[in-house]
Structure 1
Amino acid sequence: MLTLPPSTVLLAIDMQQAFDDPAFPPRCNPDCDRNGLALLAAWRDRGMPIIHVRHDSVEPGSKLRPDAPGNAFRPGFGPQGGEALVTKSVNASFIGTDLDLRLRRLGATHVVVFGITTDQCVSTTVRVGANMGWRMVVASDACACFDMPGLDGATIPAETVQAVHLATLAAEFADVRSTAEIVAALP
């Protein structure tokens, strides 16, 4: 049974408007936003620490560049009431940021992660965090990813990409649970 201490930090990764652009391939998990908002509400109701991560791309033409409309948070996902914001320009939220220091200053041991995309920024952040000694928990139903072209040219459905990445994270890097299970584990 999962039990989370009051110092558990919720890490919301890249919940940005760019991922709604129709240029992206089909996405899995239409409940990602609803579940992510439920996690934010649970943390806020308990006064527990939340850190938002925003991808500020440095790539020319990226929809995630700070000057692009897609860089903005999706409705309901921006920091509120003094919640922390970490900005990054690579996949891992720990690389080139003060995330590790922020977690240490909060006295955290556990980090619950959700966001977009499961196979890139979520997975990379979780893997690095686990390697750094953080007890990582992934909210499986509050993450999403997109169809991906396979090496053979065939499309790998987003649902398959999601399932494989969550299974890989669960095998070695994180406790992978549903939003309901995580909320039930809160103090």
Structure 2
Amino acid sequence: MAGAVNALLEFTRVVKTREQVVAGTLHHLTVEAVEGGEKKLYEPKVWVKTWLNFKQVEEFKHVGEQEMLKATGQFKDAANIFFRISNEEPSLHAAVMLEQASYCYLLFIPPMLRKYGFHLVFSGNRYYISDQISDSTDSVALDVVNDAGIVAEDAISMEELNSAVLRKLSELKL
């Protein structure tokens, strides 16, 4: 294979882990590795069935810069990258990037609700421009695009409540 290059990948730490138990355990990991002197994040999914002495890597992918920033709690930098990408992409991809930027603002402590609302409305507009309203994952963006008369402040308050409930559920680890 011409042009193939061997590289040394040294795993330094596990950043995040989550298990899914169904006829074995599927481990969703976020690991930090040093490759060529540069730190990078990877997300492997490892399937383990201990009773069969079975281990298999289902997926192993590099995490982009914005996802690395989100994983390390640098939400402002991640939101800025999502916003910058949205300016360089076609409308549908831009809508997804703006939606991701809005969620970054929601993860701030305390949440930056006005920026969250602005980016969410902007995302809804991009879904509308690309004629892909059905792809919007957030009902508030759909309501804004469809001019359902929702006042932005009410919509933001509703999302803040949903976010608080989700945080409590994640703390309980249900």
TM-score, length-scaled by structure 2: 0.30
Larger relative helix fraction: 2
Greater gyration radius: 2
TM-score, length-scaled by structure 1: 0.28
Larger relative strand fraction: 2
